[in-house]
C-alpha cells in the first residue's frame, strides 16, 4: 500500500530523508576508465575558459561543499574570475594526482 503525503511538514520531511540518503551514498569506482600519462608541462587554463564555464553554470542552484554559487562569483566581476583562474592554474602546476587518488 502506498502512503500519499499531503501535509507540508510530511512532504518536507520526506524530501529531507530522500536528500540525506542521496547525498550520503558511497559510489564505487569500477576502474573501467583509464587515461594515459601526460608528459611535459601542464596546459594552464585561460581566462576565457573560466568565463565560459561560469556563464554555463545554472542560476539559483544549491551551493556545493565550497559554498560558492554562480551569483556570488559573478558578483565579484573580473576579480572573481581571475581568482578562480589563479586557483585552478595553481592546482594544475603545483599539485600532482596519482592513480590512487579517489575523489
- Domain borders along the chain are 43-98
Position 6 scores a pLDDT of 84
- In angstroms, the CA 21 to CA 79 distance is 37
Reported confidence tier of residue 38, pLDDT bands at 50, 70, 90:
low
Q: Is the pTM of this model over 0.75?
A: no
List pLDDT tens digits, range 75-97. 888 998 999 899 989 988 887 66
At which residue does the C-alpha cell 512532504 appear?
11
Burial of 50 from C-beta contacts in 10 A (0-12 / 13-18 / 19+): buried
Q: How far apart are CA 67 and CA 51, in angstroms?
A: 19
Amino acid at each position: 500500500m502506498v502512503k500519499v503525503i499531503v501535509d507540508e511538514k510530511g512532504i518536507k520531511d520526506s524530501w529531507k530523508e530522500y536528500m540525506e540518503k542521496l547525498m550520503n551514498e558511497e559510489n564505487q569506482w569500477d576502474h573501467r576508465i583509464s587515461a594515459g600519462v601526460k608528459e611535459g608541462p601542464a596546459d594552464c587554463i585561460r581566462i576565457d575558459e573560466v568565463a565560459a564555464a561560469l556563464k554555463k553554470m545554472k542560476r539559483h542552484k544549491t551551493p556545493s561543499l565550497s559554498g560558492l554559487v554562480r551569483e556570488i562569483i559573478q558578483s565579484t566581476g573580473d576579480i572573481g574570475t581571475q581568482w578562480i583562474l589563479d586557483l585552478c592554474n595553481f592546482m594544475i602546476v603545483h599539485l600532482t594526482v596519482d592513480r590512487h587518488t579517489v575523489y
